A and B are shown apart, each in its own frame.
Chain A
Amino acid sequence: MPQFQTWEEFSRAAEKLYLADPMKARVVLKYRHSDGSLCIKVTDDLVCLVYRTDQAQDVKKIEKFHSQLMRLMVAKESRSVAMETD
């Protein structure tokens, strides 16, 4: 279960994984208030990509990424939207 140390690597790999097969991929967020930690996982049940953080700056990036993925999923045409990595 590859855990990424940098947000840029994770978001690139995760976007690629989702676009490879949008129907198979899912995104899981795990938030622990007691630890102040947020973990995002993107998987297609074969490959599993994880990024963990307790930093506020990463949280904003994760939230933006999550929103972008949601928008991709509800987009009417199948087009690949370039996602910005901070």
Chain B
Amino acid sequence: WLLNPLPMAVSSRGNAEALVALLVLATLYWVEAGGVGKAAVCYGLAVHMKIYPLTYALPIALHLRSGDGAVGAGGDGKARPKFVVHIWRLFVKTLNWDVLLFGTVAGSVLAALTFAFYHLYGWEFLEHAYLYHVTRRDIRHNFSPYFYMLYLTAESKWSFALGLAAFLPQLLLLLVVSIAFYRDLAFCCFLHTAIFVSFNKVCTSQYFVWYLCLLPLVMPSIKMSWRRGALLLLLWFVGQGLWLAPAYFLEFKGYNTFLFIWLAGLLFLFINSLIIVQIISHYQKEAQVTKKLKQR
């Protein structure tokens, strides 16, 4: 990972992405290995460094609640309980000893780090680390499909409503994916971050590193032909290339290519969604788990 040119190029812009990736991977490792306390420490540190791992809280909690990919509360032979009842049971039964330990340790680590840095740097630290994300108004061009819409409506009365409308698909997808795939934590976190980044209001190349670091963990479970995988990868790069071309002409040549950038952003979202759908469709971890259960 340290010699991979993509994180190398991204890190040279001033973000130690390799460190955050390490902490996230350490968290996932310790959760799988049963060291809940150590996982919580790594998690607290990861969230302190970058806020995005906060979304992993739900899959980790669901995973710890159920143990190692064990069968859920409802029996297999009986009729499937109503979806709403099932969701209710899932969340009510979420609080068990492991989850409480994880939450407490991670929360304490995060609070201790926040307090320590506040003591060192004062209000400036809180502003730059956390509050900045709440009040930030960056409407410059980026990969996000929402960029042009937010730029044009920045001063209109619809600005807040549109911002909220942009947030809802992201939130809904993250919830559903957590419930569907929490048994395989690495896969769930990969999907989480891929969806979070693709549907976010701001999206830059730096964010891709956040889910690419989980791809090696996930690849063995995805049964896809090399040709299909290569085609999807090519499509991903083509999507970026189609955005980068008009963006270059806008920023460095001064042409008005806003419409092209916007359309390329929509296309890139579609390509990312297609890739995520293909990955979900070809995911076959379940076959390995049932095989192991039968062998016991």
Is B a genuine binding partner of A? no
